[in-house]
Chain A
């Protein structure tokens, strides 16, 4: 089983602040036409950042965000080996970070992931738990794109509305595109191909975009006619990226942005803004916005919703497959109608019914009323119920009886308690 770092999913508060930020970004699109290329502070969308395990150890996430702000990034598409780094950044600066899902748990899986079932398992697990805009950057060449794992990755991209970020030769890119009629591909490093070959690929495939990460030759000593022509012929398809493939390269982000501005400034203002940030923004933001909205709607509670915090009026029941947290507003009193808030945690997608009752084992009886159960909130791994009309009509030793029905049968949980 793959080792996965699943970060807490956003709580209600941060989704509100994110919504505000999103509104701000949307406004940015409206006024964007007034941006001129000669500005020193031309914003940059950096679509090729990794913040991998070794990098996390060496540079705190706060510092990374500081570096990105210093570089005046519009946003950064971050994908990391492992995913933890991406989640750390995205928690800190949801306005700045767009998470991508890299199928690598460590650096050094670039040549093995596409035949490694654990890598796929890892991807699927993270997709269930977090939100992303892309799958990648992954390394894949030639006919390896037809292997079962890459094929499944394309399916997942369709299923979860994700863009592929492929470090590939033209052949593999075409094979990926052919596997779906909707999936979009960002061609990492533009395949290290020549401007002419990149242009031919972009003309041929309208679902293809390309980044210029680690293409130091672009604009070095002045922008060559060939690159200029590529930008002019495909004004909406080229994007920038630093590629932080070593921990040290996190610190290159501002210099990379500054370097790009020097040659961007020789392009017409509109085209410069396109390459600098607008192309990335227009491609990636709508996807990210949609994906994280879904998330905000369904995942209001943190993952570990079944955590006992206030033991006075709450109790946690742990079964084999599910955990159940029962909470009440105040201590239960004899014959006073109460509402029990129930959080059911686990793989709840298979749950077909949930029942809560109370009984007095010594007396062989239950309650006199059937409580009404309603779902308050639900996500992939948690259901929150309100159980209304619970009346415990005698003092003494009671027991909660819970029955959860799913496709594997039923799980029964019991918990003794005293009503005074």
Chain B
């Protein structure tokens, strides 16, 4: 991962610092004005948080992924409330463009109040598992789930099939592009023969094709990263000192990069960060533990008949994932991009602001993490300025 570093390798020991000058004309030597410098190791770590944007992989098992007509159809369906039992809720009800495809609520409200925070959908195509619990193994199966979920859109397969059959735009697109659609290894001949479940799959795959196009642009951080690697001192100056210090904390003493790793700031796996997961008196949402059960039992998973063209390697994650004690109360590491638009935070929306999130990490209750569990997270000794720096850095991961 670190073998393509662009920065100038004149120093070969970690001791030797790559100094990033802020402005040549800095006068007062206050903390906030002073130079921020990174060691070689730190620069390597920063390099690993990019490049951005990334190439978007195809949605696994989805033969419609990348097809323009499907992307367009998917966008239409995404806004179509007739795919809900009360004819009033569409995907866009919760996944609102202006809010990073989230809804600003702690937990989503569809037909009923749910128990989880609406995930933003920018860059969603980069994920390996979908949902906070990874209960879906492809973007298209993650798109089918909300239509059938009783808290969200609340239809069953047959009423959803009927709604789709009544949808002229959908049926004519399917008719026109039938030969792109594969069932039982064959392109579809007569759309009239498609059963309810097959129609639902086509709808899900189209919506996934659309969502795969939702990509966020390069941010202040990305520009700084490039400037740093290219030793472009002038361009580095555009990045605030506060964000530079926050970045140093993020990859350094706070260890955030252990999980929020790579260009998408997520290792795509599941962890326990000590957050509570009660959903009411006598009820818990154990996250990944039920996610694994869900994905294993999902008729639309990559092991099922509707996954088209997925290789054995693609299927491994689903066939081999093991359910274990460790999964009780784990959540998918979210990407940290676009967070400026998707408050509140965490799987249950229990933290209002990024500062609240930082404070939660600083004051983490280690009793909630088993003595023999992951020992990555520890209470942090960060003062007011440092906490704000971390927030500044997090904000620099969103397009303004």
Seen from chain A, the residues whose Cβ lies within 8 Å of a Cβ on chain B are: 58-60, 63, 107-108, 110, 139, 167, 189, 192, 214-217, 220-221, 243, 245-249, 251-252, 255-256, 259
Contact = CB atoms under 8 A, between A and B. Distances in A.
B372 interface: yes
Which 10 pairs between the two chains have the least Cβ-Cβ distance? A216-B325, A216-B324, A107-B367, A251-B284, A248-B284, A63-B282, A216-B326, A252-B328, A220-B324, A246-B368
Contacts of A217: 324
Contact of B372 (A189, A247, A255, A259): A189
B322 A220 contact: yes
B275 to A, nearest CB: 10
Nearest to B323: A259
A220 B278 CA distance: 26
B372 A59 contact: no
Given A247-B276, A248-B276, 18 more contacts: A59-B282, A60-B282, A107-B367, A108-B367, A110-B371, A167-B371, A214-B372, A248-B277, A248-B278, A248-B286, A248-B329, A251-B286, A252-B289, A252-B328, A255-B289, A255-B328, A256-B325, A259-B325
B14 to A, nearest CB: 33
A259 B325 CA distance: 9
22 contacts: A107-B367, A110-B367, A189-B372, A192-B372, A216-B324, A220-B322, A243-B370, A245-B370, A246-B276, A247-B276, A248-B277, A248-B328, A248-B329, A249-B328, A249-B329, A251-B286, A252-B289, A255-B289, A255-B328, A256-B325, A259-B323, A259-B325
A213 B323 CA distance: 16
Contacts of A221: 322
A245 B367 contact: yes
Contacts of A255: 289, 328
A248 B276 CA distance: 7
Interface in B268-283: 276-278, 281-283
Interface residues on B, range: 20 to 34
Which of the listed residues A59, A63, A248 has the most CB atoms from chain B within 10 Å of its own CB? A248
A50 to B, nearest CB: 11
Interface string B358-400: 0000000001101110000000000000000000000000000
Contacts of A107: 367
B370 A214 contact: yes
Nearest to B373: A214
A220 B323 CA distance: 8
A167 B371 CA distance: 10
B292 to A, nearest CB: 11
Contacts of A252: 286, 289, 325, 328
A192 B375 CA distance: 15
Interface of B: 276-278, 281-284, 286, 289, 322-326, 328-329, 367-368, 370-372
A173 to B, nearest CB: 16
A246 B329 contact: yes
A245 B370 CA distance: 7
For chain B, what secondary structure do more than half of its interface residues adopt (helix, strand, loop), or is it mixed? loop
A60 B329 CA distance: 20
Contacts of A214: 325, 370, 372
A217 B322 CA distance: 10
Contacts of B370: 214, 243, 245
A246 B278 CA distance: 11
Contacts of B324: 216-217, 220
Contacts of B368: 245-246
Contacts of B323: 259
B278 A58 contact: yes
Given A167-B371, A214-B372, A247 B278 contact: yes
Contacts of A259: 323, 325
Contacts of A63: 282
B13 to A, nearest CB: 37
A189 B289 CA distance: 21
A137 to B, nearest CB: 11
A214 B329 CA distance: 14
A189 B367 CA distance: 16
A243 B278 CA distance: 18
Contacts of A215: 325
A120 to B, nearest CB: 21
A280 B371 CA distance: 24
Nearest to A245: B370
A305 to B, nearest CB: 35
Nearest to A214: B370
Nearest to B328: A252
Contacts of A249: 328-329
A166 B284 CA distance: 29
A247 B324 CA distance: 18
Contact of A139 (B276, B329, B371): B371
B42 to A, nearest CB: 32
Contacts of A139: 371
A255 B323 CA distance: 11
A220 B289 CA distance: 14
Contacts of B322: 220-221
A215 B372 CA distance: 10
A108 B366 CA distance: 8
A247 B329 CA distance: 11
Contacts of A256: 325
B297 to A, nearest CB: 15
A399 B371 CA distance: 63
A108 B364 CA distance: 12
Nearest to A221: B322
A327 B17 CA distance: 86
A392 B275 CA distance: 70
Nearest to B325: A216
Contacts of A59: 281-282
Contacts of A243: 370
B170 to A, nearest CB: 40
Nearest to A59: B282
A104 to B, nearest CB: 10
B21 to A, nearest CB: 44
